[in-house]
């Protein structure tokens, strides 16, 4: 039983997973020959199936790394393309089609590439072999073929025919051996003929004497010898038709009937080797020998690589273990910890201030709409009575006009949908905090996982949103009609609204400053503003918005001027409002009709306080409990989706983790390979070379 080759092929497959292993190379049999020398036919005879690309214009453009696996368990022969994920292809015409497509995928301009196609064939009838089919040498480049094709094919073959590979040099009997490109190439790299097997095809096309003379060639003696074959079935006759399902049996029968007809030339006494079966046995033995002679060297190389990897593991990672699972668990733990810190820092007070800010804006809108929406001149200059705002503090406490104004504003505020506003403000604040946490977490390096977590947050938040906003609306019902404001609430409202207005004022002033800077100073802006004022009052006639401007000012400058006038007027109104809110009348809640600013602020605060109680219980607490669970579940689901492997892919998105995982995987594989190869030393070497399959 051939043992070493089988194990070494397994080992090679493992080593391929380690990645390009520079120091460990295991021998293969490389098949070279000129075009039409019968190279494909020989390979197909060995495998027992037609599977190689055919066609008059078919040039092999990529090496085919063919691994034959003797698999006594296989019920039918099948092929696998490990790089394509194609497994158990029992239809060899499909294998042929796939090879043809892979071959054609190489652009013609590239001529050939050294990127191999890997194909494994399993069968109970084949020996364990590792063969590499290379593009056939061409003599003269065809009309439509690029000039450098010939050179490139030759360079590609040179790469592969280096030791320790065994060369299978194919030449046809009907061409002069001295001109065999395959033998010329092999002689260059193996001048003493130590690792070349000569295959002479088309033995049926020459006289037996000539055929025998070729096999006895002494000009380029090969230690492993020449084998003569006929790898083509004769045209289908009754005799061979029955064998069509088994190519090798047919070929063997045909070869036997031919060679046996010439015992003097090819018989046992003649000393020449003939037949595909003989060739197959020879390949097996030669490869087994080559593998076993490389055993020690390979072991040493793997040992060295393992030592180097172990050393790297120590210095780079201090032997820290790592797995995709552990990385995910650590990332999740870390994120949950950060989330926990956030939950303890984000509660009622934070919600309240966020909601109050949003409501402040609504209060300002109401005030602007009902009280301050006229030019300042109209506000300050009486009459018309009674809606002169300047007169408001002095107005009749029973004036139905001012009562109506305040009642409408209050009712608009309480009915604006505080429930929905509160739920939205809370949800978006939580969401943006989660997104910030994610940006700082290790999930920032994993966009798709980050998205899953972020979406988990919005799902949980959205889930509670309707119920929460309805609940808030119901809880606020008592405040919708004549909210009762206590003196302390009033005092707070007064202080707060003054702050809000001062804030607005500051914004106006800052905008004014930047306008000044943009026109080239305060003085300049003043000049434009005074022009705009005069124009507005009709003291100057400006006809339309002339593109080239007016009064010596450019159109752009005038636009700035108008903006500045607006800002100035707005600041004047805000000042007026601040004064009003600070005034003596506004110290007491009884004067609410004089002080709409204070009253509405106090109402808004009341609404916010009550809404927040509900928000905290219904939304925040629920979120704090459910979100971490949801994250875990959704992430696991995400990782196992799309056929699994998601966890590994996830971890490998982080280059640091990927390098760490790669090194560990490499180390483990090398350990496994070393264990296997040591087994070979113990048992395999004793098994030695015996009878092969065939
Ligand atoms: P490749 O280009 O080297 O792969 O050559 P092929 O295997 O495609 O063979 C070229 C031609 O030679 C085909 O028509 C084969 O059928 C034919 N051929 C291959 N081997 C033999 C053989 O041993 N005897 C005869 N008569 N024809 C052969």
172 C-alpha vs ligand 1 centroid, how far in Å?
9
**Is the distance from the beta carbon of residue 36 to the nearest atom of ligand 1 less than 6 Å?**
yes
Query: What pLDDT shows up at residue 536?
Result: 82
Query: What pLDDT shows up at residue 220?
Result: 83
Query: What pLDDT shows up at residue 689?
Result: 42
Query: What pLDDT shows up at residue 272?
Result: 93
Q: Which runs of consecutive H residues, i.e. helices, occur in 375-446? A: 376-380, 400-414, 418-440
Q: Return d(Cα 180, Cα 36) in angstroms, integer.
A: 12
**Nearest CA owner, ligand 1 atom 22:** 202
355 C-alpha vs ligand 1 centroid, how far in Å?
86
Ligand 1: residue of 32, 33, 36 to mutate (most ligand atoms within 8 A of CB) is 36
Query: What pLDDT shows up at residue 142?
Result: 65
**Is the distance from the beta carbon of residue 230 to the nearest atom of ligand 1 less than 6 Å?**
yes
**Is the distance from the beta carbon of residue 171 to the nearest atom of ligand 1 less than 6 Å?**
no
- Under DSSP, is residue 477 helix (H, G, I), strand (E, B) or coil? helix
**Is the distance from the beta carbon of residue 568 to the nearest atom of ligand 1 less than 6 Å?**
no
The four Cα atoms 563, 569, 571, 573 give a dihedral, to 10 degrees, of: -150
Q: And the tokens for 593?
A: 């009709």
**Is the distance from the beta carbon of residue 60 to the nearest atom of ligand 1 less than 6 Å?**
no
**Nearest CA owner, ligand 1 atom 26:** 202
Query: What pLDDT shows up at residue 148?
Result: 81
Query: What pLDDT shows up at residue 1?
Result: 45
- Under DSSP, is residue 24 helix (H, G, I), strand (E, B) or coil? coil
Chain Cα centroid distance, residue 656:
15
Residue (of 417, 475, 511) closest to 609 by Cα position: 475
Ligand 1: residue of 41, 43, 61 to mutate (most ligand atoms within 8 A of CB) is 41
Query: What pLDDT shows up at residue 385?
Result: 43
Ligand 1: residue of 38, 96, 199, 236 to mutate (most ligand atoms within 8 A of CB) is 38
The label of the residue with tokens 């007027």 reads 569
Q: Which runs of consecutive H residues, i.e. helices, occur in 547-654? A: 555-582, 596-615, 622-640, 646-652
Supply φ then ψ for residue 60, to 5 degrees. -70, 125
Mean pLDDT by 10 residues, the chain (694 residues): 77 76 76 93 94 78 92 91 90 94 83 89 91 86 71 89 92 91 94 94 95 88 94 70 68 94 92 94 92 87 92 94 93 96 94 95 86 63 47 65 86 90 95 97 94 96 92 88 87 94 94 93 92 84 64 85 92 87 85 87 94 92 95 92 81 93 92 89 57 37
For ligand 1, what atom is nearest to the CA of residue 229? 23
Distances (CA, A) of 668 to 25, 305, 306, 661, 675: 19, 12, 9, 10, 11
Residue (of 329, 437, 416) closest to 603 by Cα position: 416
């Amino acid at each position: 039983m051939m043992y070493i080759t089988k194990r070494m092929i397994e080992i090679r497959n493992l080593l391929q997973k380690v990645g390009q292993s520079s120091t460990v190379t295991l021998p293969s049999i490389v098949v070279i020959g000129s075009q039409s020398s019968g190279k494909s036919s020989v390979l197909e005879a060995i495998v027992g199936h037609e599977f190689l690309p055919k066609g008059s214009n078919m040039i092999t453009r990529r090496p085919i790394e063919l691994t034959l696996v003797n698999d006594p368990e296989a019920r039918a022969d099948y092929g696998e393309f490990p790089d394509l994920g194609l497994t158990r292809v029992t239809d060899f015409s499909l294998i042929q089609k796939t090879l043809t497509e892979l071959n054609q995928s190489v652009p013609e301009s590239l001529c050939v590439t050294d990127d191999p196609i890997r194909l494994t064939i399993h069968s109970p009838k084949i020996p364990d072999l590792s063969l590499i089919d290379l593009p056939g040498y061409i003599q003269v480049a065809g009309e439509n073929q690029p000039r450098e094709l010939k050179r490139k094919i030759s360079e590609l073959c040179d790469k592969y025919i280096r030791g320790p590979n065994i060369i299978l040099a194919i030449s046809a009997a009907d061409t002069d051996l001295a001109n065999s490109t395959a033998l010329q190439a092999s002689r260059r790299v193996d001048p003493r003929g130590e690792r070349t097997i000569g295959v002479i095809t088309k033995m049926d096309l020459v006289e037996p004497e000539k055929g025998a003379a070729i096999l006895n060639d002494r000009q380029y003696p090969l230690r492993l010898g020449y084998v003569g074959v006929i790898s083509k079935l004769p045209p289908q006759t009754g005799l061979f038709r029955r064998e069509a399902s088994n190519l090798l049996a047919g070929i063997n029968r045909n070869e036997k009937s031919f060679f046996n007809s010439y015992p003097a030339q090819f018989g046992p006494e003649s000393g020449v080797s003939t037949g595909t079966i003989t060739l197959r046995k020879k390949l097996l033995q030669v490869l087994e020998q080559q593998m076993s002679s490389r055993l020690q060297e390979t072991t040493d190389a793997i040992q060295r690589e393992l030592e180097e990897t172990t050393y790297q593991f120590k210095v780079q990672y201090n032997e820290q273990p790592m797995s995709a699972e552990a990385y995910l668990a650590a990332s999740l733990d870390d994120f949950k910890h950060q989330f926990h810190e956030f939950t303890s820092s984000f509660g009622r007070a934070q919600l309240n201030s966020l909601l109050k800010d949003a409501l402040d804006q609504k209060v300002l809108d109401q005030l602007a709409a009902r009280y301050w929406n006229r030019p300042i001149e109209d506000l300050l200059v009486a009459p018309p009575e009674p809606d002169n705002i300047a007169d408001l503090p002095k107005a009749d406490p029973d004036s139905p006009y001012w009562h109506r104004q305040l009642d409408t504003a209050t009712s608009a505020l309480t009915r604006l949908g505080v429930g929905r506003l509160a739920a939205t403000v809370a949800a978006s604040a939580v969401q943006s905090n989660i997104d910030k946490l994610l940006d700082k977490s290790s999930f920032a390096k994993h966009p798709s996982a980050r998205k899953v977590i972020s979406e988990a947050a919005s799902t949980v938040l959205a889930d509670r949103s309707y119920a929460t906003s309805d609940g808030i609306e119901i809880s606020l019902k008592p405040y919708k009609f004549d909210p009762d404001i206590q003196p302390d609430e009033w005092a707070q409202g007064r202080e707060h609204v003054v702050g809000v207005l001062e804030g607005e004022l500051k914004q106006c002033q800052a905008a004014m400053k930047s306008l000044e800077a943009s026109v080239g100073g305060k003085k300049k802006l003043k000049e434009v503003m005074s022009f705009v004022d005069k124009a507005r009052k009709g003291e100057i006639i400006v006809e339309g918005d002339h593109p080239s401007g007016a009064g010596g000012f450019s159109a752009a400058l005038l636009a700035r001027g108008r903006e500045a006038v607006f800002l100035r007027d707005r600041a004047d109104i805000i000042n007026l409002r601040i004064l009003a809110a600070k005034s003596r009348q506004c110290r007491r809640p009884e004067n609410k009709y004089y002080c709409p600013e204070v009253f509405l602020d106090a109402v808004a605060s009341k609404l916010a306080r009550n809404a927040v109680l509900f928000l905290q219980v219904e939304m925040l607490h629920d979120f704090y409990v459910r979100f971490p669970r949801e994250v875990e579940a959704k992430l696991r689901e995400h990782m196992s989706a799309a056929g699994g492997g998601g966890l590994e892919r996830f971890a490998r998105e982080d280059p640091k983790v990927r390098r760490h995982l790669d090194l560990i995987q490499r180390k483990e594989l090398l350990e496994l390979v070393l264990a296997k190869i040591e087994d070979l030393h113990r048992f395999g070497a004793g098994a030695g070379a015996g009878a092969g399959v065939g």
